[in-house]
Structure 1
Amino acid sequence: MPPSTAGLTDAILALAFIGDLSMGRSTDHSRRAACLAGWLARECGADLAAQNHARATALLRWSGCTANASGFAELLGDDVAAREAMMAQTLPPLSTQTQSLIVPLALIHCEVSGDIAATMGMPARVVDALRNVFERFDGKGMPGGHEGDAIPETVFFVNVASDLEILSHAHGRDTARAFVRSQSDAKYPARLVETALRHADHWFDELASGDLDTPTWQLAGHHRHADVPLSLLADVTELKLPWLAGFSRRTADLASRTAQCLALDTDTQAQLHAAALLHGIGRAALPNRLWETDGKLSADQWEKVRLVPYWSARAAKQIDGLRLTAELASYAYERLDGSGYFRGVAGPALSTPQRILAAAVAFEALLADRPWRRAHSFDEAAGVLSREAGDGKFDAEVVAAIVATAQGQTLRPRAAAPGTGSLLSPREIDVLRQISTGLSNKEAARALALSPSTVRTHVESIFRKLDCSTRAAATLKALTAGLL
Structure 2
Amino acid sequence: MNVSTVPLLDVIRSLAFVGDLAMGQPTDHSPRAAWLAGQLARAAGADDIDCREATTVALLRWSGCTANAPEFAQLFGDDVSGRKALLAIQSPGSGFRSGTRHKGSAFLSLSRIHCEVAGDIAVQLGLDEATQFALRHLFESHDGSGAPDGLRGEQVPASVYMAALAGDLDIFNRLYGLEQACKLIGQRAGALYPQALASLVVAHASRWLMALDDDPTLSGPCSLDAAFADRTTSLEILAHVIDLKLPWMTGYSRAVAQLASNAALELGLGAPGQQKVYRAALIHGMGRAAVPNMIWETPGKLAESAWERVRLVPYWTGRAARQIGSLAGEAEIASYAYERPDGSGYFREARADGISIEGRILAAAAALAALRVARPWRDAFAEDAAGSLLMAEATAGRYDVDVVRALLNKARPVKGRVPTAPLTSLLSERERDVLRWISLGASNKVVAQKLSISPSTVRTHVESVFRKLECTTRAAATLKATQLGLL
Secondary structure of the corresponding residue to residue 409 of structure 2: helix
CA contact (8 A) 2:100 2:106 kept: no
Match of 1:53 in 2: 53
How many angstroms apart in 2 are the aligned matches of 1:452 and 1:473? 21
Give the 5 Å matches for 1:468-483.
Answer: 468-483=471-486
CA contact (8 A) 1:236 1:476 kept: yes
CA contact (8 A) 2:38 2:222 kept: no
Structure 1 residues 482 and 179, CA gap change in structure 2 (3 angstroms):
same
Structure 1 residues 359 and 213, CA gap change in structure 2 (3 angstroms):
closer
Deviation at 1:221, TM superposition (A): 7.0
Deviation at 1:272, TM superposition (A): 0.7
Deviation at 1:386, TM superposition (A): 1.3
CA contact (8 A) 2:337 2:363 kept: yes
How many angstroms apart in 1 are the aligned matches of 2:276 and 2:417? 23
How many angstroms apart in 2 are the aligned matches of 1:417 and 1:158? 36
Deviation at 1:397, TM superposition (A): 1.2
Deviation at 1:197, TM superposition (A): 1.0
Deviation at 1:417, TM superposition (A): 5.7
1:402 and 2:407 aligned: yes
How many angstroms apart in 2 are the aligned matches of 1:147 and 1:360? 49
Match of 1:427 in 2: 430
Q: Could you tell me which of 205, 219, 223 is aligned with 2:224?
A: 219
Letter in 2 for 1:315: A
Match of 1:27 in 2: 27
CA contact (8 A) 1:21 1:285 kept: yes
How many angstroms apart in 2 are the aligned matches of 1:348 and 1:96? 54
Deviation at 1:190, TM superposition (A): 1.1
CA contact (8 A) 1:20 1:27 kept: yes
Match of 1:388 in 2: 393
Q: Could you tell me which of 327, 338, 344 is aligned with 1:333?
A: 338
How many angstroms apart in 1 are the aligned matches of 2:216 and 2:389? 52
Structure 1 residues 380 and 253, CA gap change in structure 2 (3 angstroms):
same
Q: Which runs of 5+ in 1 are unaligned?
A: none
Deviation at 1:441, TM superposition (A): 0.8
Match of 2:183 in 1: 178
Match of 1:453 in 2: 456
Match of 2:88 in 1: 88
How many angstroms apart in 1 are the aligned matches of 2:157 and 2:243? 30
Question: Which whole-Å deviations, capped at 9, do the CAs of 1:277-297 have from their partners, x for residues lacking one?
Answer: 011111001100000111111
User: TM-score of the superposition, structure 1-length normalised?
Assistant: 0.95
How many angstroms apart in 1 are the aligned matches of 2:211 and 2:419? 48
How many angstroms apart in 1 are the aligned matches of 2:421 and 2:357? 34
- Percent of counterpart pairs with the same letter? 49
Between 1:104-113 and 1:193-202, the stretch displaced more is 193-202
Tell me how many residue pairs correspond in the alignment.
482
How many angstroms apart in 1 are the aligned matches of 2:82 and 2:357? 41
How many angstroms apart in 2 are the aligned matches of 1:76 and 1:191? 35
Deviation at 1:127, TM superposition (A): 0.9
Between 1:222-231 and 1:429-438, the stretch displaced more is 222-231
Question: Which whole-Å deviations, capped at 9, do the CAs of 1:4-63 have from their partners, x for residues lacking one?
Answer: 122011111000000000000000000010011000010000012211111100010000
CA contact (8 A) 2:35 2:222 kept: no
How many angstroms apart in 2 are the aligned matches of 1:423 and 1:397? 41
Structure 1 residues 291 and 166, CA gap change in structure 2 (3 angstroms):
same
CA contact (8 A) 1:19 1:66 kept: yes
1:441 and 2:444 aligned: yes
Letter in 2 for 1:478: A
CA contact (8 A) 2:88 2:171 kept: yes
Letter in 2 for 1:174: E
The CA RMSD over aligned residues, in Å, is 2.2
Between 1:314-323 and 1:60-69, the stretch displaced more is 314-323
CA contact (8 A) 1:22 1:285 kept: yes
Secondary structure of the corresponding residue to residue 6 of structure 2: strand
Secondary structure of the corresponding residue to residue 233 of structure 2: strand
Deviation at 1:465, TM superposition (A): 0.9
Match of 2:312 in 1: 307
